[in-house]
């Protein structure tokens, strides 16, 4: 029997590669479309080592209209698309706004046009908690009003959501879900795939693991004077494997006809907030390493605290997170060591 085909744009990246594993293990055929601007082709071999089958990688820049059309024509039998492809560094987006608007908006447009042309009915989109800004009330639900985005990156996520919603409401696209991720961290339990930021990491977890392995001298903890239990900022960290499984749940929700709203928005987090110091303490506990860190000034643009209400994900996707903060720090560290010591990355 032929397996249902899913296209994952940006599928060679961090969240896409973990989702490819979950999709293949659930019996889907996965085609990755990626221009490798922030990833590497060898990830398909590593996905193959985990699942026993390498997914097909189509090298395509989704901003190239003709190349995107050609690629979708080859895979017009896909039953769904998960659109991960985007540039995602907040600080870089402030410095290079036009590059971010071009990449994240034009690629989205081409994906929507291709889906319309080929009547591909189901879209899942990688949105972000960044669309909420600093909300007045915590935890944030899907009804929490969106704040003006603090960066061009955040703007592109808000705009992408609007583009998708309008395409669905006009009937150009049958159904779509925007998944608003909170803070994805961690790696596959085999440690064969994980997050490998290029250059100096912006995010907390890779900065912690790179400091522990000796690539960075010291972790700067941004702000010790927030109104939180220990003065450091609170985020909702979610294990990337839980996130991958949520994509599978969202896809099944679409494919089995349960999606009642043609356009839907769902938060994906744990529902729990952790401070930066709690993440460090978890890392030190599971690894036995004393991390070299220092509390410095707040990072401009950071919110003090944000965490998700995840009742909707539980209710409609029947999805619950399975992995706690210790599992996140443990797997992130196992991947850092494997990437450096075995893969030589």
Cα 254–Cα 260–Cα 261 angle in degrees, nearest 5:
95
> CA 229 to CA 278: how far, in whole Å?
10
Stretch that binds ligand UDP, among 45-53, 114-122, 214-222, 245-253 (CB under 6 A): 214-222
> CA 92 to CA 175: how far, in whole Å?
32
Smallest distance, Å, CB 345 to ligand UDP?
Answer: 20
Q: With residue 282 as reference, give the H or E element that holds it.
A: helix 276-287
Binding residue (CB under 6 A) for ligand NAD from 34, 278, 327, 336: 34
Q: Using only C-alpha atoms, what is the Rg of the chain?
A: 19
Indicate whether 212 belongs to the interface with ligand UDP (CB under 6 A). no
Indicate whether 14 belongs to the interface with ligand NAD (CB under 6 A). yes
Indicate whether 92 belongs to the interface with ligand UDP (CB under 6 A). no
Smallest distance, Å, CB 197 to ligand NAD?
Answer: 8
Site map (CB under 6 A) of ligand NAD, residues 61-100, x = contact: xxx--------------------xxxxx------------
Question: And the tokens for 56?
Answer: 């097909």
Indicate whether 222 belongs to the interface with ligand UDP (CB under 6 A). yes
Indicate whether 237 belongs to the interface with ligand NAD (CB under 6 A). no
233 binds, among ligand NAD, ligand UDP, none (CB under 5 to 8 A by kind): ligand UDP
Place of tokens 């985005």: 149
Q: Which segments of the chain are extended strands (E)?
A: 5-9, 29-34, 56-59, 80-83, 122-128, 175-181, 183-185, 219-222, 234-235, 237-239, 263-268, 274-275, 293-296
Catalytic site includes residue 153: yes
> CA 279 to CA 345: how far, in whole Å?
25
Active-site choice (153, 226, 237, 293): 153
Kindly tell me which of 183 and 267 has the beta carbon lying closer to ligand UDP.
183
Catalogue the active-site residues: 153
Q: Which residues bind ligand UDP (CB under 6 A)?
A: 183, 202-204, 207, 219-222, 233, 235, 276, 299, 302
């Amino acid at each position: 029997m032929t397996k249902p085909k899913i296209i994952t744009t940006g599928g060679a990246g961090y969240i896409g590669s973990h989702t490819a594993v979950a999709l293949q293990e659930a019996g889907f055929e996965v085609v990755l479309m990626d221009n490798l601007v922030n990833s590497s082709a060898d990830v398909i071999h590593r996905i193959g080592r985990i699942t026993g089958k390498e997914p097909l990688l189509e090298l395509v820049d989704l901003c190239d209209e003709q190349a995107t059309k050609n690629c979708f024509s080859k895979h017009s039998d896909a039953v769904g698309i998960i659109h991960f492809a985007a540039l995602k560094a907040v600080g870089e987006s402030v410095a290079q706004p036009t590059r971010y608007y071009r990449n994240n908006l034009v690629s989205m447009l081409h994906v929507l046009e291709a889906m319309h042309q080929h009547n591909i009915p189901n879209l899942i989109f990688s949105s972000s908690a960044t669309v909420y800004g600093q909300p007045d009330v915590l935890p944030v639900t899907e009804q929490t009003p969106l704040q003006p985005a603090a960066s061009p990156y955040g703007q592109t996520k808000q705009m992408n959501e609007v583009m998708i919603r309008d395409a669905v409401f006009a009937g150009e696209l049958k159904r779509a879900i925007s998944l608003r991720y909170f803070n994805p961290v961690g790696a596959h339990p085999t440690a064969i795939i994980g997050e490998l930021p290029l250059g100096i990491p912006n995010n907390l977890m890779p900065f912690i693991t790179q400091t522990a392995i000796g690539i960075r001298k010291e972790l700067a903890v941004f702000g010790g004077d927030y109104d939180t239990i220990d003065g450091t900022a609170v985020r909702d960290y979610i294990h990337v494997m839980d996130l991958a499984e949520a994509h599978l749940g969202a896809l099944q929700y679409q494919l089995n006809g349960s999606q009642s709203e043609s356009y839907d928005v769902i938060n994906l987090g744990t529902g729990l907030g952790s401070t930066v110091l709690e993440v460090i303490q978890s890392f030190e506990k599971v690894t036995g390493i004393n991390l070299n860190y220092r509390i410095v000034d707040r990072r401009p643009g950071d919110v003090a605290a944000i965490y998700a209400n995840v009742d909707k994900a539980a209710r409609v996707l029947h999805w619950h997170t399975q992995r706690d903060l210790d599992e996140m720090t443990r797997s992130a560290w196992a991947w850092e060591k494997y990437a450096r010591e075995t893969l030589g990355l």
